[in-house]
Chains A and B, each alone.
Chain A
Amino acid sequence: MGVSTVGDELRCLITADTDVVQARQTGRELAAEVGFSAGDQTVIAAAISEIARNILMYAKRGEVRFTKIVDGTRQGLIVVAEDDGPGIRDVSRAMQDGYSTSGGLGLGLPGARRLMDEFEVVSAPGQGTRITMRKWKRGNA
């Protein structure tokens, strides 16, 4: 299974459904290191699971990258999911609850957005997809 460290970044290669499990476990461990509560660790892991599965379903392969972030007194985690797949034709529609082109529940992207504090999708047909999500730790101690 492909987890590697590049600088401050942890990278998980996504090519099989076991990599989705690996990615969310890696994200959870990193979230624990940052000091997120058990509840937030679960929330982050669920969001990672959704976007990592999207890579597998639509692009077959891609990568999820994790970095701890510090912004002034705030600490958090940034998760980037990137692939060179077919891209998303209509990003605003893909962000709506219940919209799916794969026969899924259509809750992956909108659900992940609700779980995280910041969520950004960059995609165009034939240009792959890059999703960037951030979660900030509450009540910095």
Chain B
Amino acid sequence: MINIRDKGAELWETWNRPKRITFVLVLIGLVGLLPYAGDFSFTSILNTPISSYQAVLVYPVGMFVLMALGLNIVVGKSGLLDLGYVAFFAIGAYSAAILGTKTHLNIWEILPIGMGLAMISGVLLGLPTLRLRGDYLAIVTLGFGEIVRIVAVNNRSTGGPNGIANVPNPPSIFGVRFALDNMKGFFWIIFVMILLVIWMVRRLSIRRPGRAWEAIRQDEDVAMLMGVPILRYKIWSFSIGAAIGGAAGVIFASKSMYVAPDMFTFNTSVLILSCVVFGGMGNIWGVVLGGTILAYLPERIRFINNARQLVFGLALVVIMNVRPDGLLPRKKREKIAKVSAKPEGDSNV
């Protein structure tokens, strides 16, 4: 099967520095202009029937790409199956909602607090559970996701099932206004966050944590014998993923100005995980592509409203059967290592 990812990497290797910088800048510029893409008649095919095109770019597309990148660190890089990722999203969203309505902090000040809270809960959840093997971790994280939702439903300070309304919009920065009628601002802020996450993941991947995660993913026992402090790096990957989810949650709450428990169901976790696996686990560009397609597709095909989810399920089955490693799989080099480590190796997901 053609591996576009490898072809792209080969091309990238042959380029010199100015060429690479130009390419990246052009790409950033093009994506940054996406909110205007729906305005022209020849691009109106991009428009989504019900929600406005710019709103769809923010949520679900931007949000899901951001969260999928966060989950990719956990699932793709270090091979920990997390089925309750939405919990961190919810923690971020609720901290934005509670702090934003009860205190005078603005969203930019809340953002690090929300990320910190998500990170702390990631560490607290990870400490006892990350010792467990893959599938047990899956069920515990799944349970954690449900617990966060149930606590939100049954707690008075989170507004119960009605949630919290009137979450403030962020104050404007660099002349960019953030409001319900101006989604461009939110798109750009999420885009900046996505770029930061991509940059961070790329840097981490080639350094000690990235190598440790790779070792853990391929074979936990061997990694431990080689002296990799497994638990510490697992918790790092878990909490970095959690912080990204929390950041997405803060922006989400302030963008929709409203949070309610039923926004944070198990289905959202599954959808984020689908983005990661569908696009290609462990590969940033695959995850970005997967997130974009899986978030955008259901909105685009809203005209078949009733059968929308059905088509979505069908697409998942077909694509996974045709391309089991995702649309853009990780590098061949890493894959060969994975295959040779496979027999009887249950530790990787």
Decide whether A and B assemble into one complex: no
Interfacial residues, chain B to chain A (CB-CB below 8 A): none
A interface list, Cβ under 8 A from B: none
